[in-house]
């Protein structure tokens, strides 16, 4: 994206319609495919108006404070700051979640992890499921929303991220989701979980993508996991047999090229029924295993995303 920053090229007394047009052109010039939509979202945030009102009142004037706020938001977006951070929200699964610079931005590929857990675990049992490194609480919130009989525990080391997760749990009225401050599974008791779910950091420290796109703005500690990207995954897999009940499920999101390494680490810990699942883009994304004896999981024939051969 272009880093050029020029003020909205509309006169000070121009109405909403002209502001929308000028901002859309500026965002399009910066390379954003959804420039018109983003211009409307930022203008709605700056003015407090719904998008439909922006359409309906193109001649309506915007006061100086609102215009200044809009210009600030637009400048940050042109500089590459993610729209989710500017709006402080992101859709994930079927939920609208609050996000901040303390949390990762929930991504569509992580919904693979949610879908796997929903399909692999019985819906009608009172299960205890932990989401490690919960961040904004996206995974835990999605599972708690879909499975009211489950008890979800979201663990997070960063207090600012944990505050965002708590806000999401409260806004969504998820009484079956509790949050704890802790580093991975260290705060969990022995044989205390029916399932352990995690989207840990898995980016290599020297990955050039860290200097590109949204990753430039996201918390590095939530992205990077050592030289090979497996530091956090190793720790999670090593402690999973202690935390899981017999037959408990472990499911971990990982990088597209890390599936073989994750499967090997799970095998080394004596975990069974190890399978890797692809995301909607066809990339290896989530690997699951169980602590023997095996859970009564649903048959794979009912799954849309097939396990790897």
Contact 130, 176 (CB under 8 A): no
202 annotated as belonging to a binding site for a ligand: yes
What is the pLDDT, as a whole number, of residue 13?
A: 59
pLDDT digits (tens, 9 = 90+) for 245-274: 999 999 999 999 999 999 999 999 999 999
CATH number of the domain that residue 61 is part of: 1.10.8
Does residue 75 sit in the same domain as residue 94? no
- DSSP for residue 4: -
pLDDT digits (tens, 9 = 90+) for 109-134: 999 999 999 999 999 999 999 999 99
pLDDT digits (tens, 9 = 90+) for 177-218: 999 999 999 999 999 999 999 999 999 999 999 999 999 999
Angle (CA) 283-301-306 rounded to 5° is 5
Q: Taking 70 as the threshold, does the pLDDT of residue 303 lie above it?
A: no
Q: pLDDT grade, residue 14 (50/70/90)?
A: confident
192 annotated as belonging to a binding site for a ligand: no
What is the pLDDT, as a whole number, of residue 299?
A: 35
Q: Taking 80 as the threshold, does the pLDDT of residue 296 lie above it?
A: no
**Beta-carbon neighbour count of residue 274 at 10 Å?**
17
Does residue 76 sit in the same domain as residue 192? no
Q: Taking 60 as the threshold, does the pLDDT of residue 19 lie above it?
A: yes
137 annotated as belonging to a binding site for a ligand: yes
201 annotated as belonging to a binding site for a ligand: yes
- Residue 307 in domain: no
Query: For residue 261, how many C-alpha atoms fall within 13 Å in the half-sphere facing its CB?
Result: 15
| 33-58: burial string, b at 16+ Cβ within 10 Å, e else | eebbebbbbbbbbbbebeeeebeeee
Does residue 275 sit in the same domain as residue 138? yes
Query: Which structural domain, as residue segments, surrounds residue 72?
Result: 16-80
Does residue 70 sit in the same domain as residue 156? no
Does residue 198 sit in the same domain as residue 61? no
What's the average model confidence in pLDDT over 5-32? Answer: 80
199 annotated as belonging to a binding site for a ligand: yes
Mean of pLDDT over the chain: 91
Q: Taking 80 as the threshold, does the pLDDT of residue 3 lie above it?
A: no
- Residue 10 in domain: no
CATH number of the domain that residue 104 is part of: 3.40.50.150
The total of structural domains in the chain comes to 2
Does residue 177 sit in the same domain as residue 216? yes
């Amino acid at each position: 994206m272009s880093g050029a920053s020029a003020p909205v090229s509309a006169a000070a007394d121009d109405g909403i319609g002209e502001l929308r047009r000028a901002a859309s052109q500026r965002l399009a010039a910066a390379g954003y495919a959804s420039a018109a939509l983003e211009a409307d979202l930022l203008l709605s945030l700056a003015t407090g108006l719904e998008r439909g009102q922006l359409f309906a009142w193109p001649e309506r004037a915007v006061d100086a404070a609102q215009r200044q706020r809009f210009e600030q938001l637009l400048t940050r977006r042109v500089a590459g700051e993610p729209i989710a951070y500017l709006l402080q929200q992101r859709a994930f699964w079927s939920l609208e979640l609050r996000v901040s610079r303390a949390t990762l931005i929930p991504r569509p590929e992580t919904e693979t992890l949610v879908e796997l857990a929903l399909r692999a675990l019985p819906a009608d049992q009172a299960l205890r499921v932990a989401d490690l490194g919960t961040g904004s609480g996206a995974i835990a919130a999605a599972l708690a929303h879909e499975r009211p009989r489950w008890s979800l525990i979201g663990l997070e080391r960063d207090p600012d991220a944990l505050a965002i997760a708590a806000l999401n749990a409260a806004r969504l009225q998820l009484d079956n989701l509790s949050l704890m401050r802790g580093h991975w599974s260290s705060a969990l008791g022995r044989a205390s979980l029916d399932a352990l779910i995690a989207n840990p950091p898995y980016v290599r420290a020297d990955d050039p993508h860290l200097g590109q796109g949204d990753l430039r703005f996201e918390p590095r500690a939530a992205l990077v996991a050592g030289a090979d990207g497996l530091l956090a995954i190793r720790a999670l897999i090593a402690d999973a047999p202690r935390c899981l009940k017999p037959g408990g499920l472990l499911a971990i999101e990982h990088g597209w090229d890390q599936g073989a390494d994750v499967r090997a680490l799970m095998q080394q810990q004596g975990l069974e029924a190890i399978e890797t699942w692809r995301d909607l883009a066809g990339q290896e994304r989530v690997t699951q295993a169980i602590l023997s004896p095996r859970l009564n999981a649903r048959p794979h024939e009912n799954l849309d995303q097939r396990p790897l051969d």
